Chains A and B, each alone.
Chain A
Amino acid sequence: MSFLAIQFLTGLSGAVSLFLMSAGLTIIFGVTRVVNFAHGSLYMLGAYIGWSILTRLPHDPIWFAGGVIAAALATGCIGAAIEMTLLRRLYRAPELFQLLATFGVMLAIQDLTLLVWGPNDLPLPRAPWLRGSVTILGEHFPAYDLLLIAIGPAVLTALLLLLNRTRFGMLIRACTENRDLAAALGINHRILSTSVFALGAGLAGLGGALVLPDSSANTQMDLAVIVEAFVVVVVGGMGSVTGAFLASLMFGELQAFGIVLIPGATLVLVFIIMAVVLSIRPRGLLGDAPVPSAISAAGKPVRPVSSRIQLVGWSLVVLAATAPIWLPAYWLSVLTEILIAVLLAGSLHLMMGPGGMISFGHAAWFGLGAYSSALTVRMLSAPMPLALLAAPVAAGLVAIAFGWFVVRLSGVYLAMLTLAFAQIVWAAAAQWSWLTGGDDGILGVWPSGSVPFFYWVLSLSVAATWLLQRITRSPFGLALTAARDSEARALSIGLRADRLRMAAFAMSGAAAGLAGGLFAFSTGSVFPTYVAVGKSVDVLLMVLLGGINTVIGPIAGAVAYTGFYDLLLQTTSMWRLALGLTIITLVLAFPDGLAGGWRRSRS
């Protein structure tokens, strides 16, 4: 009994920083419609700034409170600066580009944090009052955690009062409800957006500073917490603060009890619950805000490829076929990587462009393919061709099963469910070491010879990419695009939009699986990092950099991104900062992608 009570309280205290994070994220989303990837970075900055302030202050509760509030205010100012210099210019751009920009900010902040605070974890020396505990039902429970438990509802109450009882809150609710109407009534959206962004950032900073006594400031906390916060916001319903509170409590408790009951499966459990909630309530527990359209860039057709560009493309393929003769081994491996990236980006494009479904978790299919190939080799001692066949088949079959859930959702919710699924696959890869080798991965998946393998990659990538483009222009592709543009109209001319989407989803998964299988052989190994969020974002970046509404876009994006990425890795240790700033610059300069920008500059 007492054990249950303590576990329950632990869950409550764990939920608080998650709630502070998610509340900020959800308010920002409500008003600006920006899914802020950099929110985890603001949380991390809150922790680091908090550390810098608190270690210089006397160790008593009043100074601690003052230091935490100062950290939150500082983070709020950083948030306002990000909004004013970057996001403000992007409100008219497609939602995905705002997401990309905030991802760029996240990368840049990672390196800047390293630069300022160094790579080591920074724990806060615990003052005596922080070490105290109270006895509850015969068990000790940290007094600080009790304080945290009180802060959660206090912040919720303050936020609800702010939203429901003040003029500022009324403006926020009006903008969340209907931005255009609010603007038409004379509400200054700029000032409101900046202040809301600052408020959200401040909440994240507060959350970051408050976890300091229990853990430490470290450079991994941004990505770890952002994915959880996304899940909380989506499960709670985007734009709903109370929903975020309920969902954080749910996940706090789930983690507290899950660790005891089924160790090693908590991550899987979290995401399964998310999948269940979303398939019953597609807008989350308390969400009723309209789901923003997935791709605002829709409304333009996917451009066909001119014959001149086709000629250039095929010449490049022929040139690549001669590469083993004249290209040094290192560059041959880069070329292999690029070819695989082209296929991967092409597979995501089918889903996102004509299909209108954004995936934040495309690495799931890539990873499933890679692991399927590696396991076929490892367990069945299968030859490479068979293992390469296993990759798309396995990924495609899983995609069909998962697609049944996915096609019921739309927009950001769909994207979040794909992210959740990728995290399940990632958790399985990391935790089921009897099958996957855990973090050590599976090694020794080598092809028989490097030059023959290059031709395998070249022919399979080119053939599959060509096939994907063919599908885009086929009757199926046209019907898929039609279902994206207007589901009601598609249904009323006799097209089953959900089945079309599911088929596209499966094809996309299978193609990404093939890319994963090829990648496993090209590196000779598979690791859980193949399924990590970063990989999913890489693919997303390739497609978006290239441009959604061009067939050639994903190819250009994959080549540019992979080449640039390798170049950065070789030339600078601050590659995240460089990549982040590049992404931000590109998004600002080419809101319709590289291929789109090229076309625009010619016309």
Chain B
Amino acid sequence: MTLLAVRNLAKAFGGNEVVAGISFDVAIGEIVALIGPNGAGKSTCFNMLNGQIRPDRGAILLDGTDIAAWSPDRICRIGVGRGFQIAATFGSLTVRDNVRTALIARHRAMWRCFRSASNMFTAEAGALLDRVGLSRVADQSCSTLAYGDLKRLELALALSNQPRLLLMDEPTAGMTRADRSAVMDLMLALTRETQCAVLFTEHDTDAVFRTADRVLVMDKGTMIAEGVPAAIRSNPAVRAAYLGC
């Protein structure tokens, strides 16, 4: 069953076509890696899927609905969670309040002005923090967290909306090796539980080939290969794009 269908998606910046008409599918519960050398157009592609950038042309169908020109908040509400390449969290709030805010957004409670937020969704937030392993730092300001923990917090924020599709832009960038596999395993376990599909970009090829069901390879704005990890690993076009030979 197809969850996400991208058709002929394109975006140019100042005449330079960064994403030049790509098409791909993601099925329900599938884990798909989007890889490619630097400048291939992965992040631009992600930003279009998430609504941060409006595509020049093409369609983004989620469950058959074209969300191509939607705003990020609306895309979130129909069940797309997002992790950023450089972790984006609410730096002045505690870890728990970060998740609490996401839950307030999910339950559409952000227009309530006259009650205290400090006891709202505490149990739900605690459960989410438990699942990503952040309970021990729940009351710390998130500006004091180690980078690996920030990435975990991002995952919790993205998952708080119980998404059907999770977009993770380099979920393990800037992390130690041990942290990397821990976060990847966590992401896998959480998404397997909820049947949530994942589309992620990653430079760490070990992580890609170990976790992805299917791999998409971009280079210079176009999709140059697509297939199961084993097939991609031996694909000459992919080798050429990465190694330049």
* Distance of B204 from chain A, by nearest CB (Å): 23
Q: A493-B105, A500-B110 are in contact. Are A481 and B157 (CB under 8 A)?
A: no
Q: A485-B91, A493-B161 are in contact. Are A474 and B112 (CB under 8 A)?
A: yes
Partner of A482, one of B50, B101, B112: B101
The number of chain B residues with a CB under 8 A from chain A is 43
Tell whether, in the assembled complex, residue B113 and residue A476 are in contact, meaning their CB atoms are under 8 Å apart. Answer: yes
Q: A493-B161, A494-B161 are in contact. Are A482 and B93 (CB under 8 A)?
A: yes
B130 contacts the other chain (CB 8 A): no
Q: Is the interface of B mostly helix, strand, loop or mixed?
A: loop
B137-177 interface with A by 8 A CB criterion? 141, 143, 157-158, 160-161
Considering only CB atoms, which chain A residue lies closest to B93 in the complex? A301
Partner of A479, one of B88, B92, B105: B105
Top-4 shortest CB links A-B: A491-B72, A479-B110, A494-B76, A489-B88
Assembled-state Cα–Cα distance A492/B112 (Å): 20
Tell whether, in the assembled complex, residue B50 and residue A473 are in contact, meaning their CB atoms are under 8 Å apart. Answer: no
* Contact indicator per residue, chain A 450-475, by CB within 8 Å of chain B (1) or not (0): 00000000000000000100110111
Tell whether, in the assembled complex, residue A486 and residue B106 are in contact, meaning their CB atoms are under 8 Å apart. Answer: no
Tell whether, in the assembled complex, residue B92 and residue A481 are in contact, meaning their CB atoms are under 8 Å apart. Answer: yes
Assembled-state Cα–Cα distance A475/B77 (Å): 18
A488 contacts the other chain (CB 8 A): yes
Considering only CB atoms, which chain A residue lies closest to B92 in the complex? A301
Q: A475-B115, A475-B120, A479-B110 are in contact. Are A492 and B92 (CB under 8 A)?
A: no
Considering only CB atoms, which chain B residue lies closest to A476 in the complex? B113
Partner of B90, one of A304, A470, A474, A481: A481
Tell whether, in the assembled complex, residue B92 and residue A300 are in contact, meaning their CB atoms are under 8 Å apart. Answer: yes
Tell whether, in the assembled complex, residue A474 and residue B93 are in contact, meaning their CB atoms are under 8 Å apart. Answer: no
Considering only CB atoms, which chain A residue lies closest to B72 in the complex? A491
Tell whether, in the assembled complex, residue B82 and residue A492 are in contact, meaning their CB atoms are under 8 Å apart. Answer: yes
Assembled-state Cα–Cα distance A474/B114 (Å): 6
Q: Contact size class for A?
A: 20 to 34
Tell whether, in the assembled complex, residue B104 and residue A478 are in contact, meaning their CB atoms are under 8 Å apart. Answer: yes
Partner of A495, one of B93, B105, B117, B118: B105
A496 contacts the other chain (CB 8 A): yes
Tell whether, in the assembled complex, residue B106 and residue A494 are in contact, meaning their CB atoms are under 8 Å apart. Answer: yes
Query: Could you jot down 23 A-B contacts, CB within 8 Å?
Result: A298-B91, A299-B92, A301-B94, A301-B141, A470-B116, A471-B113, A473-B117, A474-B117, A475-B104, A475-B111, A475-B112, A475-B115, A476-B111, A477-B117, A478-B110, A481-B90, A481-B93, A486-B90, A489-B157, A491-B72, A492-B88, A500-B110, A507-B113
Q: A474-B112, A478-B104, A493-B76 are in contact. Are A488 and B117 (CB under 8 A)?
A: no
B27 contacts the other chain (CB 8 A): no
10 more A-B residue pairs beyond the given contacts A473-B116, A488-B52, with a C-beta to C-beta distance below 8 A: A298-B91, A475-B120, A478-B93, A485-B91, A486-B91, A492-B84, A492-B88, A493-B106, A500-B110, A503-B111
Residues of B within 8 A of A485 (CB): 89-93
Tell whether, in the assembled complex, residue A478 and residue B89 are in contact, meaning their CB atoms are under 8 Å apart. Answer: no
* Distance of B134 from chain A, by nearest CB (Å): 16
Residues of B within 8 A of A302 (CB): 92
